[in-house]
Amino acid sequence: MSAAGTHVLVTGAAGFIGSSLCDALRARGDEVTGLDNFDPYYDRALKEANLAALRRDPGFTLVEGDLLDRAALDAALARGARKVVHLAALAGVRPSLAEPLRYLRVNVEGTANLLEACLRAGVEELVCASSSSVYGARSRVPFSEEDPCDRPASPYAASKKATEVVAATYVHLHAALRIACLRYFTVYGPRQRPEMAIHRFVRLALEGRPLPVFGDGGSGRDYTFIDDIVAGTLAALDRLRSMPEPFRIYNLGGAQPVLLRELCAAIGEATGRRLELAAQPEQQGDVPITAADVARAGAELGYAPRVPLREGLARFVAWYRQV
């Protein structure tokens, strides 16, 4: 199933996932309007590099603006988008501990602002990014969309759960709306933010510096390659009208949790370096494991993760060596 030829608004278009998704939308023939505020969470030059090819593409337009700016949202939607993929958010568990109110405002109020703008513009179909962090510090795996998510372990996680609740409320109040919330599980690959674990560890490994390992290395993450996330997001975008319910949550993960010590070993193989690990205390807000049950996404979206960790790491290292 394809929605090729649709005009799509992508918020957070200059980021890691956003720019990758915009590339895929344009490759299949969709017109794309991107919205991004170039928040200084990391260097704007990196985001501009993500957009370099898109800026030369007449089928892509970038609107620089903020989720908290009603006029910017109206201007972005005024270009004619009929669907929205909402990726823009303040990201990161640890930074949210220092700025909880800002995270809640941008991520929750910003999402509500976008939904209000969609109602004004007559846009009825949205895909909204959520996060595996909403599951909190649970140890029973895999995580199912039906699991309770009422004890987030960080302000970031709380903000993402709240955005799901806001989206569900708007669908309840406005019968025409159809929204899919996608819980992404630890996405990695080319263009990944520089502070994220795989990007940081590869950089340190190639520089011959120690890798900081928090705790005993026994925490686990369900690492998901960017190509699989983009494929799952496109599938959700195309199937909004065929969802069993007008509001639906889907896990998008690699379905194969990897321990931190195993990740370090795999990075050593991918970089060809002997690694030194530097033990660090466990971090507040971290969770012991994430693991996605992707059965619902498989049955309803045709989602199936295809890139195993070692292949994904090899692709990431090859990209890193080129930039």
Identify the CA nearest to 190 among candidates 304, 321, 57: 321
- Work out the number of other CB atoms within 10 angstroms of the CB of residue 4: 10
Which residues are bridge partners to 241 per DSSP? none
The single-letter DSSP state of residue 292 is B
Of residues 156, 184, 223, 303, which has the active-site annotation? 156
184 is a catalytic site residue = no
What is the crossing angle of helices 16-27 and 226-238, to 10°? 60
Per the CB < 8 A criterion, the answer to whether 286 and 219 are in contact is yes
Which residues are bridge partners to 60 per DSSP? 32
Ramachandran quadrant class, 215 (left: phi over 0; alpha: psi -120 to 50; beta: rest): left
Identify the CA nearest to 294 among candidates 238, 241, 245, 229: 229
Residues involved in catalysis: 156
